[in-house]
Structure 1
Amino acid sequence: MNRAIRAVALSTAALSLAALPTNGHAASTTGALMVTHVRPNTSGADVSGSRQLNLNGEYFVIKNVTTRTVNTGGYVPDISTNSYGRALPSYNLPAGAKAYVHTGSGTNHRDSSGWHHIYRGYARHVLPNDGRSRNPDLRLKKPGSPDNNTSTGSISPCNWGNAADGTTYAC
C-alpha cells in the first residue's frame, strides 16, 4: 500500500510541474551572454524635424551567465526585420552582471547603482517599434557571426511584436 501512495504522490507532483505556465518569449542562451530585456520604443517621439530624440532610451539588456568576466566585443545583435549592423564594442562584463546596451552614443561604464552601460553609437533609432506586419526578433550572435537576418550563430533571442511607447519587455 505504501508503494501505491508513493506512486500517486510522484505522478501528482509530475503533473503539477507540467502544468506550470511558461513564458513564450523566455530568454535562453547557448553562450556566455543572454538578452534578458528590450525597450524597442523609447518614451515620447523618436524624431522632431530631422533630429533623433532620446536614442539611449532605446536599448536591450544583456546578462553574463558565466562565472567569469566576458568581453562583449564582437557579439553581434541581429534583427530579423532589418540590418542592425555593428558588433558590440569591447567591454569587460563581470560574472553575473547585466548591462544596458544603448542605441546612441556615450562612454561605456558602470554607474553608481552597479549597472553597466554599453553604447552602440548609432545616430538613429534602429529597433523596430511596429510588429503588426512583422515579428521583430532580436538575436545576440556569437562573435564573428554576420548581421544577415538569419538565426545562424544565435545564442540568445528576444521578440516583442508591437512595442508600446516606453515599455520594456522581458525576453
Structure 2
Amino acid sequence: MNRAIRAAALSTAALSLAALYTPAQAASTTGALMITHVRPNTSGADVSGTRQLNLNGEYFIIKNVTARTVNTGGYVPDITSNTYGRALPSYNLPAGAKAYVHTGSGTHHRDSAGWHHVYRGYARHVLPNDGRSRNPDLRLKTPGSPDNNTSTGSVSPCNWNLAADGTTYAC
C-alpha cells in the first residue's frame, strides 16, 4: 500500500512539473483574427425610396492578433439572427493591424491614418439594427466554416441589442 501511494505521489509530481513547461494557452481561442467593434446601424436613414444609403457606414472592425501577416480571405462573418453571407475577401492584414470591414463596395486599402479597409460588396444593409426579438451575435469563423447560424468554427463573437444611429459598439 505504501508503495502505491508513493507511486501515485511521484506520478502527480511529474505531471505538475510537466505542466510548468507546457506553453500556456489563451483563455479564449480567438484564432488569428478577432472582432473588436461593430457599427450595425449607420448614421441617418438606411434607405431612400429604393436606394440604399451609406452602406459603408455599416461595418465591423477586425484585428490581427498574431505577430505575422494574416490573409482575411475565407474567414466567415456569421450572425445568429440571419444569414450574413459570403466569406471575407482576400486581404493581407499586417501583424497587430486593425481593419474596417465595410458592408458596401470599394477598393481594399490602407488609408493615410494607417487604417485598413476591406469591402464586402453588398448592395444592401445586412447587419440588424434591432435585436430585441433575436439578439444578434456576429461571429467570425475560421475559413471553410459554414454560414449556418451555429457557433461551429467561431473564433470571435460580438453582440448588441438595439443599435443606436451611428453608434459603434466594443466587443
What's the TM-score bracket when you normalise by the shorter of the two chains?
Answer: 0.7 to 0.9
Partner of 1:43: 43
Per-residue CA deviations over 1:91-129 (Å, capped at 9, x if unaligned) read 000000000000000000000000000000000000000
Q: 1:102 aligns to what? A: 102
- 1:76-155 equivalent positions in 2, closer than 5 A: 76-155=76-155
Structure 1 ranges of 4+ moved more than 3 A: none
**What amino acid maps onto 1:162 in structure 2?**
L
How far the C-alpha of 1:30 sits from its partner, in A, is: 2.4
In the superposition, relative to structure 1, how do residues 29 and 41 fare at CA in structure 2: closer, same or farther (>3 Å)? farther
Deviation sequence 1:7-41 (CA, Å, 0-9, x none): xxxxxxxxxxxxxxxxxxxxx55200000000000
Runs of 5+ consecutive residues of structure 1 not aligned to the other structure = 1-27
Q: Which residue is equivalent to 1:168?
A: 168
RMSD, aligned α-carbons = 0.7
The share of aligned pairs that are identical, in percent, is 90
**1: distance between equivalents of 2:154 and 2:58?**
21
**Structure ID, larger Rg:** 2
Q: Structure 1 residue 132: deviation in Å? A: 1.1
Number of equivalent positions: 144
Please list every run of 5 or more consecutive structure 2 residues that lacks an aligned counterpart in the other structure. 1-27
Whichever residue aligns with residue 60 of structure 2, its letter is F
SS of residue matched to 1:63:
strand
Question: What is the TM-score of this pair, normalised by structure 1?
Answer: 0.83
CA drift of 1:131 comes to 1.1
